[in-house]
Structure 1
Amino acid sequence: MLLLFVAAPLRRSGAYTVPDFTEARLESRGVRRMTSVLVILIGWLYIVPQLQGAALTVGITTGLPRWMGAVGVAVIVGVVVAAGGMRSITFVQAFQYWLKLTAVAAPVVFVLLLQPGAAPDATVAFEQAFPPFSVADPDTVYRAVSLLVALLLGTLGLPHVLVRFYTNPDGVAARRTTLIVLGLLSVFYLFPVAIGMLGRVFQPELAAGDPDALLLLLPHAVLPSPWAEALTALVIAGAFGAFLSTSSGLVVSLAGVVSQELFAGSVRGFRIAAALSVIVPLLVAAVTDSAGLAGSVGLVFAFTASTLCPALLLGIWWRGLTARGAVAGMATGAVACGSAILLGWLVPDAGLAGALIDQPAAWTVPLATLTMVLVSRLDRRGIPRGTDRFLARLHVPER
């Protein structure tokens, strides 16, 4: 989706942040302020699970207080971003990808090669480990479809993903970069699935009860001691590589927006903004639970898909979008999805109501998009005068 609809046009726009793009496209400071608030909120929401994951990793593997992991990642990211900026983070993330790939692939390879000496009764039957997926349950089907909608569309608006296109020289390079990243990610994500399958076979209680800890504890559970210690250390390094990499990209994108809005885009303002971008999610992570990290990340994708994604897609591909329509749609998506996230604990998990709240993207994304379109249609006079010229700049190839 990002490759087909966003990568090249966004790079050709000449904007350096998502608020820059919306202001240039719709010629409105109000849209810029709304987008800036959403970018900051999304970034904070996404940094929180990274810090919680660091806390979880430290607590499980060392027995030290969990807050030490979160504080350690926050301090390192804040210092690196403030000192180096975009270019240094780009090189750091490139290195961390290969570290993460090695760390997530090694347990799978060694568990399969060493044929762990577990007794036959230590494993579970295939049918028990992988129960058949029933499409007769509408709640289950809805949750799966809604999560897919959140992941597919939410990626289009993630600030730390979009900020990467500004380092490409042109739209052609942006598309090439996206294609390469798709290949790298496809290789990477084979291994978490394999780890989940191995965990269900060899550690069913852990896989069902604490899946976030499965990767950290699986080597100790099924491998002989020397291999287990070495692989666990590698996995911990990869985990912190993941937390640092994602958090660094998020803080860079947030600091760019905050420094432009509050500090006139100065270098000193960028460094202050980097500190602020880390402190707030650190405080939130300290007072919230780290259970279900994958679920919390999915909700961030749903929030992004309900707010920034419609504004980007319609702004790039629909001439009729207006500033009032964009603000109304983003506000509607933010209120609807934000309410589902905040009030989810009040609704029982079972039943259709629980599914609608637990995975809101399937209804909040259409609601936000429809609001954006209807308000824009009612506000046809609000179409910016420079729309045709700006859209030509987005879609006419550089060569």
Structure 2
Amino acid sequence: MNPAIGYTALISVSVITALIGFYGLRISRTTSDFYVASRTVRPWWNASAIGGEYLSAASFLGIAGLIVVSGIDALWFPIGYTAGYLMLLFFVAAPLRRSGAYTIPDFAQARLNSTRARYVTSLLVVAVGWFYIVPQLHGAALTIRTTTGLPSWVGAGAVVVIVCLTVITGGMRSITFVQAFQYWLKLTALAVPAIFILLLVTGAAGGPAGGVPAGAEFFPASDPLGGDSTYRVASLMIALLFGTLGLPHVLVRFYTNPDGAAARRTTLIVLGLLSLFYLFPTVYGVVGRVFLPGGAARSPDATVLLLPGTLVGGLGGDILSALVVAGAFAAFLSTTSGLVVSLAGVISQDLLGGSVRGFRIAAVAAVIVPLGVALLTDSLGLAGSVGLVFAFTASTVCPLLLLGIWWRGLTDAGAIAGMLTGGVLCGAAIILGARVGVESPWHDLLTQPAAWTVPAAFLSMVLVSLATPQRRSVTMARFMTKLHVPERPLSSPNPRG
């Protein structure tokens, strides 16, 4: 790939992102603007912003790479990523918005009337955010290395600098505009080249591809179709479905809706936007199995970056490659921005007094640890590494939210016990899973732990709560009513957002 293509695309996305972020600075004046955009973001804007931050490196690059390596088994990832929003729609979106909280730890303290539960939740939210930022920085490093030939640290460093500038200038108000723009950029960046690729592959247009080579098969009979065990598939789906309910950067966006009804509409729109987007990484993965067997084998996560230039060629291939590179970089920026905003809110509220200045300091602090980890480690399969983050979130934050919203018997002791049980078990499984070989009888249990760590977390939370009924919050009944009684419709909607 011509390095000039990479430079042009990366600089363009960076400049546009910075300009939109600085525009957000002009209208971000209050603490509420920085934390939750003053709760005035309307469903279409919010859904686009959620799509922008949710569609991370794992979605833009990782799914295609997994399809190249694993074939049909990898299709469970886009299914799970999208279906998780059905769970969010049914069980979490509207009640969480009605809670009136700024962050997940705010919700924990209000529901359980416990500062200990709040601090444990804060630690876990920060851990989830850090784990999720690292694959984004790995994806940026891969993109920079593939498209420009520059060292990997340049990509990770560039994402951190741009995200920090955007977040500290305008907070949530600014990031909402940035992420909404970046969703549509990512969709366009995948869809337009995919259309040209399909035309070439099907022989509907001329070009270097000239249709599928004779004898080529997208899923040859020698490949193990559906080779993953039933346990691995079930555990992955548990991780993706329940993990979506606990992602801090997604949940914080529902605090920006005007009311619970708007939160539900936002979730419905997100389902449509995600379903549309995930069609295209699938196309790249399937076509890449035939047309990039060598390059994809060396670096499967680069399939999306390499395929347009390889198949189309010439000036058209250069233009399409630039578009894909721009979309990839937007994916890293938007997801990292959402994570930094959510982490900055938690760190600022708990340690720095909750001021705008504290928010800005916390935003910088939130990226230091993941940047160090990314620079010291090599990238694994992006979709697979993010899948482990979903398993950890499903084992910790998700039980707190589901039981906190729907079960009156939850106590602070039960919540803490369940979150720590799930976190310790899942964290240990992830660490040990990286050390065991494929032939080990423990391999599946450790590399896909959600099937047993999520039930363990829920069970611990329920049993300890039942054993400590005296620790139920005295304000529980009033707070539960607040969660489940719909608000009055807004009489004069704010036109902003």
TM-score (norm. length: structure 1): 0.96
Shift of 1:201: 2.5
Q: Match for 1:303 among 388, 392, 395?
A: 392
* C-alpha distance after superposition, 1:266-288 (max 9, x if no partner): 11111110000111111110001
Shift of 1:122: 7.6
Name the counterpart of 2:157: 71
Name the counterpart of 1:117: 208
Return closer, same or farther for 1:236/1:122 CA change in 2, 3 Å cut-off. Answer: farther
Name the counterpart of 2:229: 140
Shift of 1:77: 0.2
Q: Secondary structure at the match of 1:346?
A: coil
Listed as ranges, the matches of 1:1-399 within 5 Å are 1-114=87-200, 115=203, 116-118=207-209, 121=213, 124-128=216-220, 131=223, 133-134=225-226, 140-399=229-488
Tell me if structure 1 keeps the 8 A contact 2:92–2:245: yes
Shift of 1:223: 1.6
| Stretch moving more, 125-134 or 198-207 | 125-134
**Equivalents in 2 of 1:8, 1:130: separation in Å?**
48
Q: Secondary structure at the match of 1:58?
A: helix
Return closer, same or farther for 1:348/1:387 CA change in 2, 3 Å cut-off. Answer: same
Opposite residue 349 of structure 1, the aligned amino acid is: V
RMSD across aligned C-alpha pairs, in angstroms? 1.6
Shift of 1:130: 8.5
| Stretch moving more, 123-132 or 86-95 | 123-132
Unpaired runs of 5+ residues, structure 2, are: 1-86, 489-497
Number of residue pairs the alignment of both structures matches = 396
Tell me if structure 1 keeps the 8 A contact 2:189–2:324: yes
Q: Which has the higher helix share?
A: 1
Shift of 1:207: 4.0
* C-alpha distance after superposition, 1:273-312 (max 9, x if no partner): 0000111111110001112111110000100000000010
| Stretch moving more, 313-322 or 101-110 | 101-110
Return closer, same or farther for 1:386/1:108 CA change in 2, 3 Å cut-off. Answer: same
Tell me if structure 1 keeps the 8 A contact 2:218–2:289: no
Return closer, same or farther for 1:378/1:80 CA change in 2, 3 Å cut-off. Answer: same
Q: Secondary structure at the match of 2:380?
A: coil
Opposite residue 328 of structure 1, the aligned amino acid is: A
Opposite residue 271 of structure 2, the aligned amino acid is: L
**Equivalents in 2 of 1:228, 1:93: separation in Å?**
27
Tell me if structure 2 keeps the 8 A contact 1:13–1:394: yes
Shift of 1:210: 2.4
* C-alpha distance after superposition, 1:181-222 (max 9, x if no partner): 111111011111111111112223444442211001111222
Opposite residue 332 of structure 2, the aligned amino acid is: F
Shift of 1:141: 1.9
Shift of 1:123: 6.7
* C-alpha distance after superposition, 1:58-105 (max 9, x if no partner): 001111111101000000001110111000000000000000001111
Shift of 1:125: 2.1
